[in-house]
Structure 1
Amino acid sequence: MKTARVRYEGDCHEATEANGQVMLQDGRMLTEMDVEWLPPIEPRTTFALGLNYADHASELAFQAPEEPLLFLKGPNTFVGHRNKTVRPEDVTFMHYECELAVVIGETARDVAENEAYRYVLGYTIANDYAFRDYLENYYRPNLRVKNRDHSTPLGPWLVTADEVPDPMNLMLRTYVNGVLTQEGSTRDMVFTIPQLIAHISSFMTLSKGDVILTGTPKGTVNVEVGDEIITEIEGLGKLANTIVREKQAVGRS
Structure 2
Amino acid sequence: MSWMPEGTVYGVLLNFKNEMDALAPQMNQPPYKAPPKAPVLYVKTANTWSAHGAAITVPAHVPEVEIGATIAMVIGEAGKAQGYVLMNDLSIPHGSFFRPPVKFKNLDGFLGIAERLLSASEASDPSIFKLEVRINGELKQSADFSQLVRPAAQLLVDVGEFMTLRVSDVLMLGCDAGRPLAKVGDRIDITAPGFGTLSNILVAEAP
Q: One fold, TM greater than 0.5?
A: yes
Contact 1:183 1:219 in 2 (8 A): no
Give 1:51 deviation, angstroms: 2.1
The alignment status of 1:91 with 2:62, answered yes or no, reads yes
Structure 1 pair 120–131 and aligned structure 2 pair: CA distance change class (3 A): same
**2:91 partner amino acid:** A
Contact 1:44 1:75 in 2 (8 A): no
Which one has the largest radius of gyration?
A: 1
Give the root-mean-square deviation of aligned CA atoms: 1.9
Match of 2:14 in 1: 51
Q: Distance in 1 between matches of 2:109 and 2:52?
A: 11
Q: Distance in 2 between matches of 1:58 and 1:202?
A: 25
Give 1:219 deviation, angstroms: 2.9
Match of 1:140 in 2: 99
- State which of 159, 164, 173 in structure 2 corresponds to 1:214: 173
Match of 1:187 in 2: 146
**2:17 partner amino acid:** A
Please give the secondary structure, in 1, of the residue aligned with 2:134.
strand
Match of 2:82 in 1: 121
Please give the secondary structure, in 2, of the residue aligned with 1:217.
coil
Deviates more, 1:221-230 or 1:43-52: 43-52
The alignment status of 1:79 with 2:50, answered yes or no, reads yes
**1:53 partner amino acid:** F
**1:49 partner amino acid:** V
Structure 1 pair 172–228 and aligned structure 2 pair: CA distance change class (3 A): same
**2:16 partner amino acid:** Y
Structure 1 pair 241–62 and aligned structure 2 pair: CA distance change class (3 A): farther
Contact 2:4 2:115 in 1 (8 A): no
- State which of 179, 188, 196 in structure 2 corresponds to 1:229: 188
Q: Which structure's relative contact order is higher, taking Cα pairs within 8 Å and 6+ residues apart?
A: 2
Unaligned runs of 5+ in 2: 28-34
Contact 1:43 1:75 in 2 (8 A): no
Please give the secondary structure, in 2, of the residue aligned with 1:157.
coil
**1:100 partner amino acid:** I
Structure 1 pair 107–146 and aligned structure 2 pair: CA distance change class (3 A): farther
Contact 1:183 1:218 in 2 (8 A): no
Task: Provide Cα deviations, 1:170-198, integer angstroms capped at 9, x if missing partner.
Answer: 11110000000000211111111112211
Tell me the TM-score normalised to structure 2 length. Answer: 0.88
Unaligned runs of 5+ in 1: 7-39, 109-118, 249-253
**1:222 partner amino acid:** L
Tell me the TM-score normalised to structure 1 length. Answer: 0.73
Deviates more, 1:44-53 or 1:62-71: 62-71
Structure 1 pair 168–62 and aligned structure 2 pair: CA distance change class (3 A): farther
Contact 1:231 1:239 in 2 (8 A): yes
The alignment status of 1:101 with 2:72, answered yes or no, reads yes
Q: Distance in 1 between matches of 2:191 and 2:21?
A: 23
Match of 1:152 in 2: 111
Contact 1:136 1:142 in 2 (8 A): no
Q: Distance in 1 between matches of 2:175 and 2:97?
A: 14
Q: Distance in 2 between matches of 1:42 and 1:222?
A: 26
Contact 2:44 2:111 in 1 (8 A): no
Percent identity (aligned): 29
Match of 2:202 in 1: 243
